[in-house]
Structure 1
Amino acid sequence: MFLTRFRLNTARPGTRRLLSSPQTLHAAVMSSFPHILPTDTPAPGAPRVLWRLDQEARAEILLYVVSPDRPDLTHLVEQAGWPAVATPDAPGWQTRPYQSFLDRLASGGRWAFRLTANPVHTIRRKDGEPRKITAHLTPVHQMAWLLDEKRQNRAGFRILEKPDDRRTLPSGTTHKGHPHHGDRYELTVADTRALAFGKPGQDNSTSRNKVTLVTVTFDGRLEVTDPDTLRRTLTQGIGRARAYGCGLLTLAPLPRQPTP
């Protein structure tokens, strides 16, 4: 497994084209693996190519890719990077082996995390109608999606609770029946976006042929409950729309606490 980071040059027209459609960016990411054909489908339960965009500042947009094989992002450097300064030693992206990090995960370990996901649920508007997949639109419901106990168990982690002295609201504060809401958990919704883009090779003049989805970026802190399950989560993703930049969970060390 490999973890790759690529900074997009926001001044390039190619970058704007890639950012305009997750479908286009997904195709560019998959083109980084010459042995993967466009028609290939990952085997059930196998590691897959996951990617995510992080916007740290207006002109700092980072593409992260987790993949079973080492990618070649030369075409992305030419379209959306800094090709004039690329060298064999510094090709314009950074790729690091990921497996050793995965192997070090242990039960009880605590990490900061980031996840961009597509939180959805199914609803039935009228009796007798089939259930329809619908996006969660409010932060309280989006957080509830990730805080669902069954979802966390399937992912191999639990999201940490804040200590009482770090809560703004009183302990146990709820909101419309959602006991997780307020300051109880180490979880924030950093970014919510509603996306609509066309499908390649189709008439996209009508909404019927367009893909629409809501993406949410979560930041928070978690504890490992099942290392093997979490390893699968980190290499297979969480939730839907993984081809469109959703599902990639990444971990980072927690800040060190000051010594008393």
Structure 2
Amino acid sequence: MSVWLTRIVPDPRCTETRRDLAGTTAGNLHRRLMSLFPDQAGPDPRARFGVLFRLEDTPAGPHLLLQSTHQPDLARLPADYGSSLSRPLDDLLDALKPGLTIRYRCAASPVRKPGATTRALYNLPAVVPLTGAHADEWWTRQADGAGLRPLTLHSLPLDAARSTRPNASGTTASIRHARVRFDGTATITDTDLLRRKITDGIGRGKAYGCGLLSIAPARSTT
């Protein structure tokens, strides 16, 4: 199974681009990206095609990273949406081996889910977003489960990913995923786990720009 990485550089002059990137609303962007894949793909097309994405702030403006296990049809983007390019990640994934030092980046939604007794005692919601040292501890556990041993870690709180969706009563429910970006270096301990987490993503909110784990060989300091 091939894994594809697509970089889209949106053109801010395009009306549809501006709408997709407006504020922190992630629903429009999710629908845009899913439109690049075959229709009628079952109950969970995002999972079927392994779609994960992250919006990156760069000195040249926002860039969109899209990862998938099916090559996206970039011709489905509006003609003036911006520039785009897809490439397979097979060579990178095939080169992974235990002991290799890599750089990583992941914008994820770190949370904990307290038990019913704890929720009642402290009047907590079912899902509690984590920040600061608690978020870093969460990431360290996730990295271990992804076949990585972190060597360095820098975390940066991001704006929450927000969207809406209809519910069974016919009204609209608000969706909010707190986000933290984790950057650093790590040593690979298990290549199979790492490949699986790269394709599956990490944590909650994968349809809203969370969970894409990006890696690259660490730069040599010698």
Q: Deviations over 1:157-214 (max 9, x none)?
A: 1101xxxxxxxxxxxxxxxxxxxxxxxxx1112342123332269644xxxx111121
Q: Deviations over 1:124-162 (max 9, x none)?
A: 3324989711111x32222111012xx3332111101xx
- SS of 1:257's equivalent in the other structure is coil
Larger Rg over CA atoms: 1
Q: Which residue of 1 aligns with 2:94?
A: 103
Alignment of 1:78-93 (within 5 A): 78=79, 80-81=81-82, 92-93=83-84
8 A contact 1:30–1:36 mirrored in 2: no
Alignment of 1:120-139 (within 5 A): 120-123=111-114, 124-127=118-121, 132-136=126-130, 138-139=131-132
Aligned-residue offset at 1:101: 1.6
8 A contact 2:30–2:207 mirrored in 1: yes
Q: Which residue of 2 aligns with 1:251?
A: 215
8 A contact 2:154–2:183 mirrored in 1: yes
Give the whole-Å Cα distance in 2 for the aligned partners of 1:35 and 1:5.
22
Q: Which residue of 2 aligns with 1:65?
A: 66
Give the whole-Å Cα distance in 2 for the aligned partners of 1:76 and 1:31.
8
Per the normalisation by structure 1, the TM-score is: 0.73
Aligned-residue offset at 1:226: 0.2
Task: Decide which of 144, 147, 155 is 1:189's aligned counterpart.
Answer: 155
Alignment of 1:229-244 (within 5 A): 229-244=193-208
Give the whole-Å Cα distance in 2 for the aligned partners of 1:102 and 1:48.
15
The structure with the largest strand share of the pair is 2
Task: Decide which of 52, 57, 63 is 2:54's aligned counterpart.
Answer: 52
Q: Which residue of 1 aligns with 2:136?
A: 143
Aligned-residue offset at 1:25: 0.8
Aligned partner letter, 1:221: T
- SS of 1:102's equivalent in the other structure is helix
Alignment of 1:210-221 (within 5 A): 210-221=174-185
Q: Which residue of 1 aligns with 2:26?
A: 22
Give the whole-Å Cα distance in 1 for the aligned partners of 2:207 and 2:161.
14
Q: Which residue of 2 aligns with 1:6?
A: 8
Unaligned runs of 5+ in 2: none
Per the normalisation by structure 2, the TM-score is: 0.85
8 A contact 1:112–1:254 mirrored in 2: yes
Confirm whether residue 224 of structure 1 aligns to residue 193 of structure 2.
no
Give the whole-Å Cα distance in 2 for the aligned partners of 1:47 and 1:223.
28
Q: Deviations over 1:39-64 (max 9, x none)?
A: 33567xx771111111113x421111
Aligned partner letter, 1:253: P
Unaligned runs of 5+ in 1: 82-91, 161-185
RMSD over aligned Cα, in angstroms? 2.5
Distance 1:230 1:194, change over 3 A: same
- SS of 2:113's equivalent in the other structure is strand
Give the whole-Å Cα distance in 1 for the aligned partners of 2:147 and 2:121.
36
Aligned-residue offset at 1:250: 0.7
8 A contact 2:104–2:184 mirrored in 1: yes
What number of residue pairs does the alignment pair up?
213
- SS of 1:252's equivalent in the other structure is strand
